[in-house]
Structures are given as structure tokens and as C-alpha cells.
Chains A and B, each alone.
Chain A
Amino acid sequence: MTHHDDHAAEGHGGHAHHPPYMKIFAWLSALTIIEIFVPFVFHANKAIAITILVAIAIWKMNLILRYFMHLKFDALVLGLIAATPGLLALIMASGLLMDWN
């Protein structure tokens, strides 16, 4: 299931299967370029700009977590560990937002 298993199965000769790193790299670069233009394009409407920026950032973090940090190929428990700070950040943010709005 993991790429370790894959390459154990392949033995010592061939190359292991690796996630499509260059494809992810292209995605990340493209998203970064789009990101930089967002504040200029949506200068008038801050809400739309922020929504798009947050969506792109979450997308980028998802790519990094799943492919570069191998969560897609790892045990579920590591994914759960990685999700914990996200949950706690939501809790903290909702508390803080409620207090100041």
C-alpha cells in the first residue's frame, strides 16, 4: 500500500514508484502565480479576494501534505495527527472571532 511496500515488492533492481512530484511542483507554482494576481484583480472586493486566497492556500497545503509529506500513502493515523492542529485552529479562531465581532 505504501511506496515502501511497492519498492520492497520490486526487489533491488528497478526504480521505486514515486508520487508525481514534478506535476505537484507545477501545480504549486501555478497556484502561487495565480495567488499573487488575486489581490490586484479583486482589489475592489476584499471578501471575494480573501475567499479565493484562502481556498488556494488550503489547496496548496493539501497538495504538500498529501504528496510531499506522503500522507496519501501513509497510515491513516498520521493523517489524523496532521488534522488535529487544523481542528484546534478552527476552535481557537471561532472563539477569537466571536469575541471581537
Chain B
Amino acid sequence: MAHDHAAHGGHHALPHIPSEGNFDFTNGKFAMWLFLISDAMAFIGFLGAYMVLRMTALSSAVDGGLPWQPTWMLPMDLILTGINTFVLICSSVTMVKALAAIQDGNVQKLRLFLAGTMLGGAAFVGFQVWEWNHFIHAGITMQGLVVPSLDEAMENALKVDQHANKLAMAKTLFGGRDLKQPPEGKTLADFESGKFSEADYLALPLIMVDPEKGDKRAAQPGVIHHNTYAVAPTKKQPLIQPRELQAEIEDAEPGDRAAVLEKHRSLRAKVTSGFSSTFFVLTGFHGFHVFIGVIYLGIILLRSFKGAYSRENSSSVEIVGLYWHFVDLVWVLLFMVIYLIL
């Protein structure tokens, strides 16, 4: 703001020149802050999408969609991610320690702590890569979720809910089927007590539901109707439409249906999912930031060996620190919204 000191400057020939151009931060630090708010807005865009898709996940289930994280999906490992979060916090502390070291003029300690920060960041990215890999192998990809076999689904569901019911799970995965016509060698009681296989259940005739006629069964959240998954097109493999897949299963002989479904699985037929889309984009975008941060830290570390930093010249270390803490800050938010709010 304009300070008018003219009244005090009686002995000056010229009126006092108000000047405010010298805030005591460097251009680089200011620009990094500006870049960070810009970056924050990009994350806010993704988080807004996450919020909307998550809020609407249940209501879209009415139209044949899925709940946000179906119980048959591989659950996320909270403890491992918690440890990973701790690693990132540690790397933040080594970063501020590095800055403190160079502000005290200790270049040796600066290098040590910078290397520690890089190590933490690399470990974090490494874990993320492992987690992505784990998910993709379990059938969770950006395109959606591969429908698991009944046994896999039960295994996953039991991890989050000890009372998961096999018959209910089968209903969720393969639609409501008529238990009054059990296949040979099975009884109604077998189904109710969970002593049946996927093939047994698929051999039952499908109860056709018609939402147009107000059939409420169509509106059960979490039920995968067969017309909701498809085989994504690739260069070698044309798109297979949901209705074709459904027809293939239901048209097969009751005993062969499980084999047909297995074929679909081998083609990685998927149901699309807002969860998997946002999970990969959010963690990918953040992981990319960590990756860039490690490279950035590496450049600073290299320059420290050339004697670029000293007690009087520590601004660059402070700037890389700002970036690094921002990445940590974003992870606090992502860790909460993706992993903790179940």
C-alpha cells in the first residue's frame, strides 16, 4: 500500500518515493507458490470428479451400475498404505532438515538429508507401482473391474465382512436365479448353506427382470446384470457387446455356462467403475508428482556437489522443499479420501 511519508521528509528536496517492490521473498519462491496453487487447482478438479462419481455411485447402481467398492473387489490394504504414508512424512522431515542444514551452512548434512528425501520418495513411488501391479493382476484396471470367480469374490468379501453370504454373493455376481429348479445332485438346502460352486449356480435358470414394468429386483444396488459388462476392444480383439456376452451365457447349456463365463474372463470382460477410473488417475497424478519431485531433488543434490549452495544461498533448497511438502500435503488429502473414507 502507498505509504505517504512526505510529511516526515522535510529536508528532502524531492517528495518521498513510496516503494513496495521488495517483498522479502525471492522471485523463484513466489513463482513456486503460484505454481503450487495452480497445481492444487488441478488436484481439486480431479477431487471434484472423485466426489461426484462417488456420491452418485449408489444411485447409478439402480441403472445397472456398481457400488463404489463392491465387496467382491480386492480390498485396499490400509496398513501398508499407512506405512507408505509414514514414509512420505519421514521424507518431508528429512527435507526440512536439509533446509535447516544448509541454513546453518552444513553442506554435508544437506546432501545426506537430500539423499534421504529422495530415498523416501522413491520408496513411496515403488510401493505405488507395486500396488497398481497388485490391483491390475486382481482385475482392477482403469477400464473397470474384471468380474471375479465366485470363490475369489468370497475370499475378497470375507476380508471386509466376516458374515458374507455365498448365495447372496452369487446373486450379486450372476443375477437372481430360480432356486426351485436346482441341477441334478444339488438341493435347495445345499444352495442355502453355501455348498455349491459357480457352475452349479450358473446352471440355474435366470429370473428375468424387467425394470420397465416396475420390477423392483432390478433396482437392487450391487447386482451386476449380465448386460453390464463387456470385453473392451483392442487391436486384436473387437468389442464384444454386453448383450452378446449375456446371450452367450444364457444360450449355452446349463452345464456349460461356467465355461463360457471363464472364456469371458480370459478375455478380461469388465464392468466399468468410477472407483477404478478415479483411483488410477488420482494416485497416478500424485505418483507422477512424487516422481518429478525425486528428479528435482536429484538435480538439487547434484548441484550441491558443485558447491551451489551455502548459508547465504539456500533459496533453491527452500523452493524444492515447497514443492516436496506440497506433494506430501496432497497425499494427506488423497490418503483420506481414497483409503480412509470407506
Contact = CB atoms under 8 A, between A and B. Distances in A.
Are A and B in contact, CB atoms below 8 Å, in the complex?
yes
Interface of A: 2-4, 7, 12, 15-16, 18-19, 21-22, 24-25, 28-29, 32-33, 35-36, 38-39, 43, 49-50, 53-54, 56-57, 60-61, 64-65, 67-70, 74-75, 77-78, 81-82, 84-85, 88-89, 92-93, 96-97, 100-101
A57 B336 contact: yes
B contact residues, range: 35 or more
A100 B25 contact: no
B341 A18 contact: no
Contacts of B34: 81
Nearest to A79: B33
A75 B24 contact: yes
B340 A36 contact: yes
A16 B100 contact: yes
Given A28-B92, A33-B82, A70-B318, 14 more contacts: A25-B89, A25-B93, A39-B78, A39-B341, A49-B342, A61-B329, A61-B333, A68-B321, A69-B326, A78-B33, A85-B37, A85-B41, A96-B48, A97-B55
30 contacts: A4-B24, A7-B103, A12-B311, A25-B90, A29-B89, A32-B89, A33-B82, A38-B340, A39-B342, A43-B342, A49-B341, A61-B333, A64-B328, A64-B329, A65-B329, A68-B328, A70-B318, A75-B24, A77-B23, A78-B25, A81-B33, A82-B33, A82-B37, A85-B40, A85-B41, A89-B44, A89-B47, A92-B44, A96-B48, A97-B51
A36 B77 CA distance: 11
Contacts of B341: 39, 49-50, 53
B2 interface: no
Nearest to A59: B332
Contact of B104 (A2, A15, A49): A15
Contacts of A2: 24
B89 A28 contact: yes
A59 to B, nearest CB: 10
Contact of A85 (B44, B93, B95, B96): B44
B37 to A, nearest CB: 5
B41 A88 contact: yes
A64 B333 CA distance: 12
B322 interface: yes
Given A7-B103, A78-B33, A93-B51, A21 B44 contact: no
A15 B86 CA distance: 29
B296 to A, nearest CB: 16
Nearest to A16: B103
Contacts of A89: 44, 47-48
A15 B96 CA distance: 15
B93 A22 contact: yes
A67 B322 CA distance: 11
B265 interface: no
Contacts of B85: 32
A68 B325 contact: yes
B14 interface: no
B49 to A, nearest CB: 9
Contacts of A49: 341-342
Contacts of A92: 44, 48
Nearest to A50: B341
B17 interface: no
B34 to A, nearest CB: 7
B97 interface: yes
B56 interface: yes
Interface string B300-341: 000000000001000000100110011011001101100011
Contacts of B13: none
